[in-house]
Copies of this chain bind each other. A is one copy, B any other.
């Protein structure tokens, strides 16, 4: 089905719009709209959704309603709700809601970015992430870890691949549900992606690799493609391509869910997401945000539907 080199028949799709998509937006979005976004993601087929983050509301005001969002989530045993947490305090908050199925922890590959993002060294951020996974497991939930700035750092530039792979190997000892490689500032390239995904898979055998790309330089979907070719089995994306990190200067949005779904489904890789529904969700979100969003498939005709109707 998928050309040469081979790609898998399916990947697992994670919608991160309610958290990573919105967190950098200056205008506060209502809890009701966030819950509507979650509902639209579910209606389109998403079964893993990053719904909020439990962080300091003074640093990320958009996420101040984390508990309210969780209280309003639909009861869906088939959906995994993910809450992002940066420390034990956040993990306690997330677990206290009783509605977060999985904790998402973050460690950062470089000291400079770890300090800007979370006031820690890289090693401290790794230790904190492993503690969060342990807390999730102790509470009967699962935990996973994202390695931020895995492809490059806005403060220290190039990031050594061997260091990221060694970090993944260290994290694997916590038995996370998966390890993600995040291109926080969208500087990665597909050859690097292929090497890093393969390297992490080899260093942490049996741990699924998730990828998280931002489209700062237009390379987001190329990086998704390279990652899937290299064996990444889970892909993050954000409806409309919203996103950007408040602590990463120059960062643009996540890869857009509708663009990722268009590319992968057309390439024979099942995502579980209905393209027309996710496009409709993007168009709805564009109305909520009051502007055209970066995602492109929602602005184009729905191929292969033809102009005169086939």
Contact B4 A194 (CB under 8 A): yes
A17-46 toward B: CB 8 Å interface, digit per residue (1/0)?
Answer: 000000000000000000000000000000
Contact B153 A189 (CB under 8 A): no
Residue A198, interface by CB 8 Å: yes
Seen from chain A, the residues whose Cβ lies within 8 Å of a Cβ on chain B are: 1-5, 7, 152-158, 185-187, 189-195, 198, 215-222, 224-226, 229-230, 241, 249-250, 252, 255-256, 259, 262-263, 266-269, 295-297, 300-301, 303-308, 310
Contact A216 to B267, CB < 8 A, known contacts A3-B192, A4-B230, A306-B157: no
Of B225, B262, B308, the contact of A226 (CB 8 Å cutoff): B225
Of B152, B221, B241, the contact of A219 (CB 8 Å cutoff): B221
Least Cβ–Cβ distance between A121 and chain B, in angstroms: 17
Residues of B within 8 A of A192 (CB): 3, 266-267
In the complex, what distance in Å separates the CA atom of A204 from the CA atom of B308?
34
A194's closest neighbor in chain B, by CB?
Answer: B3
A221's closest neighbor in chain B, by CB?
Answer: B222
Contact A190 B300 (CB under 8 A): no
Least Cβ–Cβ distance between A54 and chain B, in angstroms: 28
Q: 8 smallest A-B Cβ distances: which pairs?
A: A218-B259, A3-B194, A191-B267, A3-B191, A157-B304, A189-B266, A218-B296, A187-B303
In the complex, what distance in Å separates the CA atom of A296 from the CA atom of B256?
15
In the complex, what distance in Å separates the CA atom of A185 from the CA atom of B300?
9
In the complex, what distance in Å separates the CA atom of A157 from the CA atom of B301?
11
Extra inter-chain contacts (19) besides given A152-B303, A217-B297, CB under 8 Å = A3-B198, A4-B230, A5-B229, A153-B306, A154-B306, A155-B307, A155-B308, A156-B306, A157-B310, A158-B304, A185-B303, A190-B263, A215-B296, A217-B262, A218-B220, A218-B256, A218-B296, A219-B263, A222-B224
Contact B4 A157 (CB under 8 A): no
Residues of B within 8 A of A305 (CB): 157
In the complex, what distance in Å separates the CA atom of A226 from the CA atom of B221?
11
Of B3, B241, B252, B255, the contact of A190 (CB 8 Å cutoff): B3
Contact B191 A1 (CB under 8 A): yes
Least Cβ–Cβ distance between A52 and chain B, in angstroms: 26
Of B2, B222, B249, the contact of A263 (CB 8 Å cutoff): B222
Contact A155 B306 (CB under 8 A): yes
Least Cβ–Cβ distance between A209 and chain B, in angstroms: 15
Contact A195 to B155, CB < 8 A, known contacts A217-B300, A218-B296: no
In the complex, what distance in Å separates the CA atom of A133 from the CA atom of B198?
45
Residues of B within 8 A of A189 (CB): 262-263, 266-267
A268's closest neighbor in chain B, by CB?
Answer: B191
Of the candidates A191, A266, A297, A305, the one having the most CB atoms from chain B within 10 angstroms of its own CB is A191
In the complex, what distance in Å separates the CA atom of A220 from the CA atom of B250?
22
Query: Can you name 23 A-B residue pairings with CB atoms under 8 Å?
Result: A1-B191, A3-B192, A4-B194, A4-B195, A4-B230, A155-B306, A189-B262, A189-B263, A190-B267, A191-B268, A191-B269, A215-B218, A217-B259, A217-B296, A218-B221, A218-B241, A218-B256, A218-B263, A218-B295, A219-B221, A222-B224, A225-B226, A250-B301
